[in-house]
Structures are given as C-alpha cells and as structure tokens.
Amino acid sequence: MNTTQFENVLRDVREALEQDDVQRARQLLEQLQLADRAETIGDLNLEEQTRVLPSLPAEAAADVLEYLDEDEAAQLAASLPAKVLAQLLDEMYPDDAADILLDLKPAQRAQTLALMQTTAQVQPLLAYDDETAGGRMTSDVPVLRRWMTVAQAISYLRGLHPESENQHYLYAVDRDRRLLGVVGLRDLIVAMPETSIEEIMNPHIISAPVDAEQAELAQLISRHGLSSLPVVDAAGRLVGVITHDDLLEVIEDEATSDLYALASMSADSDLDVDSPLRVMVKRRLPWLLVNLGTAIFAAWVISIFEGTLQKLALLAVFQSVVAGMGGNAGTQALVIFVRGLALGQVQPRSAIRAVAREVAVGMINGMAVGVAAGFITYLWKGQPYLGVLIGIALFGNMLIAGVAGALVPLTLRALRLDPALASAVFITTVTDAVGFALFLGLATAFLPLLL
C-alpha cells in the first residue's frame, strides 16, 4: 500500500469512528494486510484504538498488538479492559504475551493473568528480565525422546499440532528434560520411518543459559548463524527456545543500543522521533552536560596558551583542524573496537595485536593527513614553518586518537562498563585536549620562527 492509499484508508477509518460506525472501521481494517493494518491502528489516537481494536477478531487483534511498536503496544494494552486484553494475550505466543504483561502495572497484570487461559505457559516467563534469554524465549516447545522412531515422532507431532513460531528444529530430551540433541525438520521427513531419533539427531548443540544477557545472545547468533537458539537452565534442562523472529529482534536491539550509546545516550533509551518531549530531554540532557564538562576542560587547555594566541592569532584558525581530525580518527577506531567487542572478535588474547594494528593505522593515516595539511597550509598562508607545525600536530593527535579509540573501550570492558556508552565522551576529551595542547605547545616552542 502506497502513501496515498494509506492516508485514504486512515482518513476513512477516522471518519467511520467519528460517526460511531465501528463496524465500518472494522471492515476497512480487515481488508488490509497485517503490516498495513497495524500501521493504520498505530496512527489512530489512543481513544480510537481502544474502540476499534476489540472489534476485530481476537486472533487478528492479537496480531496487531504483537506488530505494534513496544511502547505503543504497552500503552494500548494498559487502556484495554482486563477481560479483552486477556482474550488477546491468549491468542499470542507466550513470550510475546509475557512482554506485554511486564509493561503493565502489577495490579492490572495480576487481574489480566487471572482471566487468561494460558497463564500456566506465560507465568514462568514473567520471572526473567526482558533482555535475557529467559525473557526472549518461548516455553511452548514440542520435544522428542531419543528412543522414538521417526514414524512415532511424526505421529506425535501430528497429534500435538504444535503452534510454535515457525520451528525448523526439534529438540530431543531425556526423562528429566535435559537437552540431548537437535533434529532438523528436513532430516525428520526424509529419514526412514523405523530410524530412531538418536540416529539422526545432532548431539553438538549451541545453547544459551536462561540468564544470558542479550549481548551474549547476539554474539552466539552472529558467530554460529543460528535460526533458533535453545535455552537451558543450570542443570542443562530445556526450558525454552528463542525463535528466528526473536533472534532478529535481539540483533536489532543490540545494534540500536550501540548506535544510541555511541551518540552518548543511554543504551536502553529506545527513543524515536515520536517520543514524548519530556522523555527526550530526560534521556539526552545528562550526557550533554557531561560533554559540557569535557568541552570546558578543552577550553582550559587553550587558555594556558592564551599568550601565544595573542601574539599569533592565525593559530586560532588552524587549531580546530587538528582537534577535529583527531576526533574523526578516534571515532573510526572506536567504532571498529566497539563492534569487535560486541561481536566477540576482540578477545583478551588478541587485544594487544589489535591495538598494535591500530597504532600502525594511526601512524600511516596521521603521516598522510599531516603532509597534506602542511602542504595546503603553506600554499594558503605562505608560511612553511606553520605548515610543518600543523603536519606534526596532526600526525601526533591522529596517532594518539587511534590508540585511545582502541584502549578506551577495552579498558571500560575490563571495568565491566558498557564500552559504547562512555567511550565517545572520553575520546572527545582526549582528542580535543591533546590536539590543542600539542598544536599550541609546539607553536609556543617555535613562536620566533612563526613570527
């Protein structure tokens, strides 16, 4: 559906609701694909949403609630009557229902749970943090026993008629539900009927502990190219599976988290262009104030060389070039190392080699940029000593910036801090302060030649 069609449907739905014709609004929405239906409902105001969503069939309404943005879904769910919400959550997968319940106030959560038919499947998931393996998994997982034949397994699955989320793999467990192996659906279908599950299962399983953090899950997914991930408890018992759609959400959330963190915002801020003004300010202002402190520190470094600047004001034109290029070089190194840490590419055993490589890159880039900047400065201002000074300062600052971009995230990780969240502030401080000190310090030492 293109933009014009979407706007026309949205207008018609709103007109129907204004005329109190909920049936007409429902008919318009039922003609749409799920994504378009969810987007249309998402663009309605909360009062309109609470009127039209319960009018849809329970399964369709549940699909919309699942598809909406997390904040939108939480706000809408909190506005629905407990009986209606319970019906919708019963139509959802247990992990998705648990996510919505966790966003409700305790009283409303308890009231809704009491009215649900799937409480037994959803209740255990509420004990886990949303950003752990337990919070991401679904517990509705069909399991096989290793002594089953292929014919028995297929017959069992037909009778069970599982509604799991596009499961491409089945898991074999023992009588205590300890995970023994994994069987692909293709292997199950093509195997001879009398073949046992133990013969065709793969005993080498990649699994995640139930309390594993989201970052660890993202590493496992990326490293092994997984389409589903079994979750086990401390005793190795299968407690759930993270399916492919949730795996994609994990990767997306981790990428968004790192992007926000590198912009000096809280990694769990989940802001977007429609976030409330109060939330926008609350999440972004603290780090701007931290950056203000580092900027004042850089200004203090400049003030040390105030006498030099008064004697040769031309230096003020070029000091921002040295600091700015150092900041860019530091950011490049920072992004590479933060990404390497997030994906598990940078390990303690390889950290020294990675830092040494970044030193080499900093030296080569610094030399190239320094020579180019020095030559341009000479052609522009006709002062060869100023060109040499800028070239040396750029070489030194870009080298230090590259080293800082590598060492700062490694140090923060060693201190068990988020390397993405605080690194940008430290890198800016280092490149600005060192750049100004190096450039103006050299200018002070060689001032007679410059004059």
pLDDT of residue 383: 83
At 202 the pLDDT is: 92
Cβ 429 vs Cβ 291: under 8 Å? no
- The listed CATH number (3.10.580.10, 3.30.1330.40, 3.40.50.720, 3.30.450.70) that belongs to domain 143-244: 3.10.580.10
351: which DSSP letter? H
Closest CA to 220 of 240, 235, 206, 239: 206
Domains 3-128 and 143-244 in one fold: no
Q: What does pLDDT average to in each consecutive run of 10 residues of the chain (451 residues)?
A: 76 88 88 86 87 89 85 87 91 86 89 89 83 83 90 87 66 92 89 92 91 81 80 91 75 64 54 65 75 82 82 78 85 81 73 87 91 90 86 90 86 75 72 85 82 69
Residues in the chain: 451
Nearest to 133 by CA among 224, 227, 232: 232
In the chain, domain spans: 3-128, 143-244, 277-450
Q: In whole angstroms, what is the distance from residue 264 CA to residue 424 CA?
A: 7
Domain 3-128: which topology? MgtE N-terminal fold (1.25.60)
Q: Is 277-450 CATH 1.10.357.20?
A: yes
pLDDT at 299: 84
DSSP-based three-state secondary structure for 145? strand
Whole-model pTM: value is 0.57
Tens digits of residue pLDDT in 276-308:
677 677 767 777 787 788 778 888 888 888 888
The reported pLDDT for the residue numbered 232 is: 93
pLDDT at 87: 92
pLDDT digits (tens, 9 = 90+) for 182-219: 998 888 989 999 999 999 999 998 999 998 887 788 77
Query: CB of 235 within 8 A of CB of 191?
Result: no
- State the pLDDT at residue 260: 62
Return the half-sphere exposure (C-beta side, CA atoms, 13 A cut-off) of residue 181. Answer: 15
- Beta strands across the sheet bearing 208-209: 208-209, 229-232, 238-242
CB 433 within 8 A of CB 298: yes
443, burial (CB in 10 Å: exposed 0-12, middle 13-18, buried 19+) = buried
pLDDT at 199: 92
Q: How far apart are CA 449 and CA 150, in angstroms?
A: 88
Q: How would you class 291 by CB atoms within 10 Å of its CB: exposed for 0-12, middle for 13-18, buried for 19 or more?
A: middle
374 and 366 in contact (C-beta within 8 Å)? no
